[in-house]
A = this chain, B = another copy of it.
Amino acid sequence: MNSKLQNNKQDQHPADFADKLQQLPVEEAVEILRDLPREKASAVLAELDRQNASEILTEFSTDEISRMLIGLPHDDAADLIAGLPEEQHQQVLNQLLPAESVKVSKLLHYPQDSAGGIMTDRFIALPSDATIKQSRETLRSKEDKEYKGTSYLYVVDSNQKLIGIISMRDLVFRMPDRKICEVMDRNVKAVSVNDDQEKVAKLFAQYHYMALPVIETDGRLMGIVEANSVIDVIQEEVTEDMELMVGVSGEETAYTPWRKAVPKRLPWLYVNLITACLSASVIALFENTIARWTALAIFFPIIAGQGGSTGMQTLTVIIRSIALGEISFKDSRNALNKEILVGLVNGLAVGIVAGIIGFIWKGSIILGVIASIAMFLNMLAAVFAGVVIPFGLKIMKIDPALASSILLTTVTEIGGFGIFLGLGTLVLKLSGI
């Protein structure tokens, strides 16, 4: 891998180069970056995952880091500095050009998962009282890398407050002596620097924006968020949702070294161990029943498995609908009604078959009947838990995905074993054995 990297260092896209670099041990990655021409190294650095970038950068001196940040887009530079130890921030900033340093440090003070944290400052703001001709000159004076690829320009008043938007097309075809404020579109949507990146992503998904301006609380235009950065945000949020559901950190990839994966996953396994002990205690309560009617134990994986699967189906649909902004708390009642209907029908369909299996396998009608009933009731509990757990977490201001599958399994196992063994005990009592 290393030699392959060396060979086509030059022609590879920085994003592809960064992907390969992330699979190498940190020391090797550092060595390769040191050997690259400065500009290439900067570009690759900007494409690394945040976590990898910060690990790699700790191996470089403040001097080297500052040099690599020169010429990078300010938002990329700010993201890289944000990954360094706090005490190093100012040192690195001090070694940038004063003009760059000011801009980077402005971006640096927004949280990484806010609109301010994902915006770029490469946009063009035109004063509203400028003429079309003057504005064309402004545009001409900018270098390509100073603004990004949408065809809209933003209009600000004398206090830098965002008051309108104008298309590149209008700038080209309108009469040169008209004022920007006469031709601009005043109907401009914006987000606040403090808005959560998840909220911003939902707006893009819902309204198909190509870009949205980002304003300070006083209305000053600070940057823009573009659809292509939102793609990264969405991928990040989805990875987090999927991983949190099963007790993984939310940032782990297949290449995260095992030393980092273990401390993030193990605590959840211990949590799961505790909940599994709860399920085990339910079984322990009925140890006598099992001793007298061992066939019951055979049905454990069937009862628990169906409950778990049913619940996971519901849970996944709900968590995904919450993430897509399709459902909010006030609609949760409708979702619950639907899931209960699904649970009733599927519970009946699976319960009957499970009963037949019980009867055929063990030749006991009564075993079939209690397996049926337990299955049916447990599947109802499962769909109920599948709706209530994510909304419950949301109400407690916790990520609705967090460890939700572990919570769900707890419900379906305790419920399933409790009902099934409870019924079994009842049968033994009634039959007077």
Contact = CB atoms under 8 A, between A and B. Distances in A.
A282 to B, nearest CB: 8
A23 interface: yes
Contact of A294 (B150, B235, B258, B287): B287
Contacts of A327: 253-255
B298 A284 contact: yes
Contact of A227 (B172, B210, B238, B321): B210
A299 B280 contact: yes
How many residues of A sit at the interface, in one of the four size bands? 35 or more
Contacts of A413: 301, 305
Interface in A308-365: 308-310, 312-313, 315-321, 324, 326-327, 331, 334-335, 338-339, 341-342, 345-346, 349-350, 353-354, 357, 361
Interface in A13-62: 13, 15-16, 19, 23
A331 B254 contact: yes
Copies in the complex: 2
23 contacts: A15-B206, A136-B172, A139-B173, A140-B172, A149-B151, A150-B210, A168-B172, A210-B228, A234-B234, A242-B316, A242-B320, A248-B317, A254-B334, A254-B338, A255-B327, A265-B346, A269-B349, A270-B353, A273-B350, A279-B301, A280-B299, A290-B297, A297-B297
Interface of A: 13, 15-16, 19, 23, 136, 139-140, 144, 148-152, 167-169, 171-173, 201, 204-211, 226-232, 234-235, 238-239, 241-243, 245-248, 252-258, 261-262, 265-266, 268-270, 272-273, 275-277, 279-280, 283-284, 287, 290-291, 294-295, 297-302, 304-306, 308-310, 312-313, 315-321, 324, 326-327, 331, 334-335, 338-339, 341-342, 345-346, 349-350, 353-354, 357, 361, 405-406, 409, 413, 417
